[in-house]
Amino acid sequence: MFEGQPKGLWALALANTGERFGYYTMLAVFTLFLQANFQFDEKLTSTIFSSFLMLVYFLPLFGGMLADKFGYSKMVTIGIFVMFAGYVLLSLPLGANSLAIIAMAAALVLVSMGTGLFKGNLQVMVGDLYNDAQYAAKRDAGFSLFYMAINVGAMFAPTAAIKIMEWAQTSLGVSEADSYHYAFAVACGSLILSILIYYLGKPTFKQVITTAKKTSKDAGSEAVADELSPAETRERIVCLCLVMAVVVFFWMAFHQNGLTLTFFARDYTATSSSGVQSMMFDVTNLVAAIFIVFGGFSVFQGATAKSKLGGLGVVALAAGYLYWNYTQLPDSVSVSAPIFQQFNACFVVMLTPVSIALFGWLGKKGKEPKAPVKIGLGMLVAAAAYVLMIGGSIGLPTPTYTNGVNDHMANVTPNLLVSTYLVLTFAELLLSPIGISFVSKVAPPKYKGMMMGAWFVSTALGNFLVQIPGYLWGQELTLVWGVLAAICVVAALFIFSIIKKLNKVS
C-alpha cells in the first residue's frame, strides 16, 4: 500500500494535515459559536455557514489561475500566511457587537482566500508527482493515501476544540461564548506547523515546484499540451464539467455534518453514553482501532516474516490498550454535538487501506471500475446514508424552541449518527480522492491549475446549497433527509446515463 509512492507525497500530505487540523477544529464548533455568541437563529447560521464553505471552495479557481501563471509553490506559501491572519482574527474575543461581526466576516474572507491559494495548488503538485512514468499506475492509490493523511488532522480536530474550550471554561473561568475563541486559536498553531513541514520537506518534491520563469519541465509540459487538439481539449473539459455538476450535489449532502446533522446531534441524540459504546467518544480508542486495521494488513500482506510479526505486535498492543481502557470506563461519559464530526475523518483513515486493497485486487483481475463509475456509486451510497437517517427519525417530533432556545426533544442512540457517518465515508472514498485523481489525469496540461480550481468550484456550489436543508429544519425530519436522499439518487442516475462518454477520456 505504501510501497512505490514518490517521497514528496508524504511531505505534501503532512503539510495539508496541519492545515486541515486547524480548519476542522474551527469548523467543528463554528455554527455553535454563531448561535452562542451572536444568538443567530438556524436560518441565518445556515446562510453564513454555507456561504463561508462556498467561498472556501470557490476561490481555488482563481488560486489555480494565479498558480498557472506565477507558480504553485509560491501560491501555496502565500495562502498559508493569509489563512493564518484569518484565524488570528477569529481568535480575538471581541464580544457580540457590530465590530465583532465585522471582524468575524473579515476573518472568514481571509481564511477563504488563503485556502483558495493553498488547497487546490497543493493537490496539483501532488498530481505532478505522478507524471513520472514509474509512478503513473499508482496515481489513484497515491491520492487515496494523501486524502487519508489529511483526515488524520480532521480526526483529532473535534476533540481538540472541545478540550480547549473545557479548559478555558474551567481553568480560566471564561464564558462558553468566549471559549470558542480558544478553539480558533488552535488553528493558528496548526498552520505554523504546516508551513514548517512544507519548507523542511521541499527537497523531496523539488521536481514539481514551478515558478513564473520557464524551466525545461515547463517546456515539456507545454509540448504535451500542444499534442492535444482543440477538439480533444474541449472534450476533456466538457467531461470534467459534467462530473463536477454531479459532485455539486454530493457536497450538498455530505457537508450536512456541520449543519443539520450537528443540529440533530444537539437536539435529538443522547447526551451521555455508557459501556462499550462510550469508548468511541475517546479519540485515543479510535486511534487504537486504526492501528488494529493497519496492523492486520501487515499481518496478511506483509512481504517478510519480520513485517508480519511487527503487524501482529501492533494489533496486540492496540487491543491491549482498548481492553485496559474498557476496564477504566466511568459509569457514563458526556456526549456533545461537535464530537460526532471526528467519526468521518476516523473512518477515512481506517477504511483507506481497505479501499486501496479492494480496488488493487480488482485491478489485478482487470475488473476495477473506472473513476466515473466509482463517482456514480458514491452518489448511491450517499443516498443510502440519508435513507438510514429517515429510518432513525420516524416518529420523532419536529424541532421546537423555548424562548428562542432549541429544546432537546429525544435521546436517540448515538449509533444512528455514527452509522450515518460510516456510510457517508464509504461514499466519500468512492468520490472525493478518486475525483481529484480524475481531474489531475484528464485536465489538459496547460489548464490543470484552473481545472483543479474548477473541481473546488463544484464543491463550493454544493456547499452553498448546504443551507437548503438548514432552511427545512423545523419541518418533519423525514422531509429533510428525504430531500437529500432523492437528490443523490437523481445525480447518480445522471452520471450513469453519460458513463460511456466519461469512461472514454478516463
Residue 227 pLDDT: 65
CA distance linking residue 450 with residue 62, whole number of Å: 7
Angle between helices 98-129 and 139-171 (to 10 degrees): 150
CA distance linking residue 482 with residue 26, whole number of Å: 29
Burial class (CB in 10 A: 0-12, 13-18, 19+), 219: exposed
Residue that the C-alpha cell 511487527 belongs to: 310
Q: What would the pLDDT profile of 322-365 be if each residue is shown by its tens digit?
A: 999 999 999 999 998 888 888 988 898 888 888 888 888 888 88
SS3 category, 269: strand
Residue 334 bridge partners (DSSP): 272
- 417 with 264: CB under 8 angstroms? yes
How many Å is the Cα radius of gyration of the chain? 23
How would residue 210 be classed by pLDDT, with cut points 50, 70 and 90? Answer: low
- 144 with 355: CB under 8 angstroms? yes
If we measure between CA atoms, which residue out of 254, 335, 322 comes closest to residue 290?
A: 322
Cell (9 digits) for 226: 500542444
How would residue 434 be classed by pLDDT, with cut points 50, 70 and 90? Answer: confident
Burial class (CB in 10 A: 0-12, 13-18, 19+), 419: middle
Question: How confident is the model over 191-207, as a mean pLDDT?
Answer: 89
Rounded (5°) CA angle 199-202-208: 130
CA distance linking residue 44 with residue 34, whole number of Å: 9
Q: What would the pLDDT profile of 478-492 be if each residue is shown by its tens digit?
A: 999 999 999 999 999
CA distance linking residue 357 with residue 307, whole number of Å: 17
Q: In this structure, is the dihedral angle defined by the CA atoms of residues 164, 166, 169 and 175, taken in order, positive or negative?
A: positive
Residue 506 pLDDT: 72
Give DSSP secondary structure letters for 268-293: TB-SEE-HHHHGGGSHHHHHHHHHHH
CA distance linking residue 252 with residue 294, whole number of Å: 31
Query: Mean of the per-residue pLDDT values for the chain?
Result: 86
Per the model's pLDDT, the better-predicted residue between 373 and 120 turns out to be: 373
Q: What would the pLDDT profile of 86-131 be if each residue is shown by its tens digit?
A: 999 999 989 889 999 999 999 999 999 999 899 888 888 888 888 8
Amino acid 124 reads: V
| Percent of the chain clearing pLDDT 90 (strictly above) | 35
Phi, psi for 73 (deg, rounded to 5):
-60, -40
Taking CA atoms, 50 is separated from 257, 293, 484, 498, in Å, by 12, 35, 16, 30
CA distance linking residue 192 with residue 154, whole number of Å: 17
Rounded (5°) CA angle 342-251-70: 95
CA distance linking residue 26 with residue 345, whole number of Å: 15
